[in-house]
Structure 1
Amino acid sequence: MGADVNESAEFRHTTVLLDEAVEGVLARPDGTYVDGTFGRGGHSRALLARLAPAGRLIGIDRDPEAVAAAAAITDPRFRIVHAGFADMAEELAAIGVRQVDGVLLDLGVSSPQIDNPERGFSFRFDGPLDMRMDTTRGESAADFLARADEREIAQVIRDYGEERFAGQIAKALVARREAGAPLTRTDELRELVARAVKTREPGQDPATRTFQALRIHVNRELEQLEQGLSAALRLLAPGGRLSVISFHSLEDRRVKQFIAAHSKAEFDRRAPFAPPPALALKALGRVMPSAAEVKANPRARSAVLRIAERTDAPLKS
């Protein structure tokens, strides 16, 4: 997610694909834009630096800490909204904005979230097993593991973590809970997974996939992404741009499929000579981090940026 290299060193985060994402989304310097994942404002500050005086930027984030950090931006062209980007159409309508010239989404979890033990996102530090991006609402990872049955836990870990030992991990989690010792700390989960997972790819902690899966589930990240992409498409003016950075295949696959669904015509065998239908998006390409960026910031190694442009075609019903 977007973050600010000027924040305190304790939770510093270098924004990935900064110039590429901003250049990709900036259709008109005097337009209205949405940074749907404000984070610590890395993309927002870069966008504001390139916007004309008449331009406007709305930042959105569901993390209260990110919303608080946005107070440091005093530019009158900027406004922050505490919400998830899935709700951007309704949130923007509430402030009188019904059409925008660009939407930027930097998916996943930000370094300030990962590096703060109290948030529970990382197995590198011991902390409460929380993992919520919006700490003011919803079920924490500990809450989910305390009430879900073995089948549901296994499905979450398998589907969202692509973990082949999901069944063994779920069984161990439920057995511990039934023994009267439900998990409440990140170290406890890491140790349990390490015992349940017998083999792992070189260089990867056995808990990596399980932590990813629980985070995605707790925050409904894939559902939020699908809803957010649809909302962005409804908001974009003709010529407006969608710029999305993904960090794992589950996200990128959905972004790729969404853009393809609205930019590629299906061949109709019943009418092979019919003119192609007008489509709502035009795919502008995929961008990967340079070798220099990955070397400077290893967290960039899995990033994929996809860019598309809104046409003047009506949306599919």
Structure 2
Amino acid sequence: MTEAPHVSVLRDEVVEALAPAPGETHVDGTFGAGGYTRAILATGATVVAFDRDPTARRFADGLPGDRFRLVEARFSEMDEVVGAGAVDGVALDLGVSSMQLDEPDRGFSFMRDGPLDMRMGASGQTAADLVNTAEPAELARILFVYGEERQSRRVAAAIARRRAEQPFTRTVELAEFIEKALGGRRGAKVHPATRSFQAIRIAVNEELAELESGLVAAERALKPGGRLCVVTFHSLEDRIVKSFLTVRAGRTPSGSRHAPPVEASGAPSFRLLFNGAKSPGEAEVAANPRARSAKLRAAVRTEAPVWSDAA
């Protein structure tokens, strides 16, 4: 049975920035439920989509076989699949998908009980593996760096004491334990486990390293004049994308007495399509609260060679 169409966050803005046209080939690096792919296909363009989640294939039913291909791989591998300088656009919608959050068996959500998994793909360590085996200092680092959890050491120490007696296996079990370790909600609007769950998910899926590699892969894969659009959902992702595009566009800060200038590795390989980031409008946020934190950054590939640090 074909699933109901999914509307991706900032879909219209992404399609406007990509400006796909008949005869062009675009990469949807994060296929998910196919929201961007369907919108791009509607313009007459061809789409090569990537998703490391094998269950995403169910959302490909009914898509035109002559203009669509779904590759079960990380988007950081796109240039190896499509070739260098081969595509007219790349779209990336980062983070966990709403479908994954809505499926308890995937273990992403602390609001729905399920196995402590959190893997976007079908292999690798699970969240339970990480929570139950990581050294307390490493677990605290993960919570602090990836989740920006100020009380990371407190949470990590509490987890280490409890797992010695009984390992964590379920999402709600861990969420409730973290809530208790932090002293309860006390009127907080955001669940106390939110930052920790984000951090564990990012670590399990190596999301930030994948993003850095994926941006370089997009630089390789795009033709001159091709466009890169990236939608982020938290500050860590946005910082990486902003830094990459700023440097690649030749806008590296000139330096000061406090910080030396950053030496460019080549001629600008991107031109910013617009300054700053675009955010969803009020109507989209009202219809989809998850869109609230979304930011879109976009750039156009120049004729300059791929930077030497992209090797």
Separation in structure 2 between the aligned mates of residue 282 and residue 258 of structure 1, nearest angstrom: 12
Q: Is the counterpart of residue 21 in structure 1 residue 14 in structure 2?
A: yes
Q: How many residues get paired? A: 294
| 2:246–2:252 CA contact under 8 A, matched in 1 | no
Separation in structure 1 between the aligned mates of residue 252 and residue 110 of structure 2, nearest angstrom: 45
Q: Is the counterpart of residue 70 in structure 1 residue 70 in structure 2?
A: no
Shift of 1:67: 2.4
Aligned with 1:303 (options 273, 287, 294): 294
| 1:14–1:297 CA contact under 8 A, matched in 2 | no
Unaligned runs of 5+ in 2: 256-265
Corresponding position of 1:170: 156
Separation in structure 2 between the aligned mates of residue 223 and residue 86 of structure 1, nearest angstrom: 9
Q: Is the counterpart of residue 279 in structure 1 residue 272 in structure 2?
A: no
CA 212–13 in structure 1, closer or farther in 2 if over 3 Å, else same = farther
Corresponding position of 1:272: none
User: C-alpha deviations, 1:34-61, integer Å up to 9, x for none?
Assistant: 000000111100000012xxx3210100
Shift of 1:314: 2.1
Query: What letter corresponds to residue 32 of structure 1 in structure 2?
Result: T
CA 190–216 in structure 1, closer or farther in 2 if over 3 Å, else same = same
Structure-1-length-normalised TM-score: 0.88
| 2:101–2:109 CA contact under 8 A, matched in 1 | yes
| 1:13–1:111 CA contact under 8 A, matched in 2 | no
Shift of 1:71: 3.5
Q: Is the counterpart of residue 149 in structure 1 residue 135 in structure 2?
A: yes
In the TM superposition, 1:1-317 aligns within 5 A as 7-8=3-4, 13-26=6-19, 28-51=21-44, 55-93=45-83, 99-134=86-121, 136-179=122-165, 181-198=166-183, 202-266=188-252, 278-285=267-274, 286-317=277-308
Unaligned runs of 5+ in 1: 1-5, 270-276
| 2:116–2:171 CA contact under 8 A, matched in 1 | yes
CA 266–208 in structure 1, closer or farther in 2 if over 3 Å, else same = closer
Separation in structure 1 between the aligned mates of residue 301 and residue 278 of structure 2, nearest angstrom: 18
Separation in structure 2 between the aligned mates of residue 267 and residue 166 of structure 1, nearest angstrom: 33
Separation in structure 2 between the aligned mates of residue 265 and residue 305 of structure 1, nearest angstrom: 18
Separation in structure 1 between the aligned mates of residue 189 and residue 43 of structure 2, nearest angstrom: 40
RMSD across aligned C-alpha pairs, in angstroms?
Answer: 1.9
Query: What letter corresponds to residue 116 of structure 1 in structure 2?
Result: E
- SS of the aligned residue for 1:58 comes to strand
Query: What letter corresponds to residue 7 of structure 2 in structure 1?
Result: T
- SS of the aligned residue for 1:287 comes to coil
Separation in structure 2 between the aligned mates of residue 162 and residue 268 of structure 1, nearest angstrom: 29
- SS of the aligned residue for 1:87 comes to helix
Query: What letter corresponds to residue 218 of structure 2 in structure 1?
Result: A
Query: What letter corresponds to residue 211 of structure 1 in structure 2?
Result: F
Separation in structure 2 between the aligned mates of residue 216 and residue 266 of structure 1, nearest angstrom: 28
Query: What letter corresponds to residue 53 of structure 2 in structure 1?
Result: D
| 2:29–2:75 CA contact under 8 A, matched in 1 | yes
| 1:22–1:47 CA contact under 8 A, matched in 2 | yes
- SS of the aligned residue for 2:124 comes to coil
Shift of 1:28: 4.4
Structure-2-length-normalised TM-score: 0.90
User: C-alpha deviations, 1:66-104, integer Å up to 9, x for none?
Assistant: 1232243234100100001011111224xxx75111000
| 1:13–1:110 CA contact under 8 A, matched in 2 | no
CA 266–248 in structure 1, closer or farther in 2 if over 3 Å, else same = closer
Shift of 1:14: 3.4
Separation in structure 2 between the aligned mates of residue 267 and residue 159 of structure 1, nearest angstrom: 25
| 1:190–1:207 CA contact under 8 A, matched in 2 | yes
Query: What letter corresponds to residue 22 of structure 1 in structure 2?
Result: V
Query: What letter corresponds to residue 90 of structure 2 in structure 1?
Result: V
- SS of the aligned residue for 1:72 comes to coil
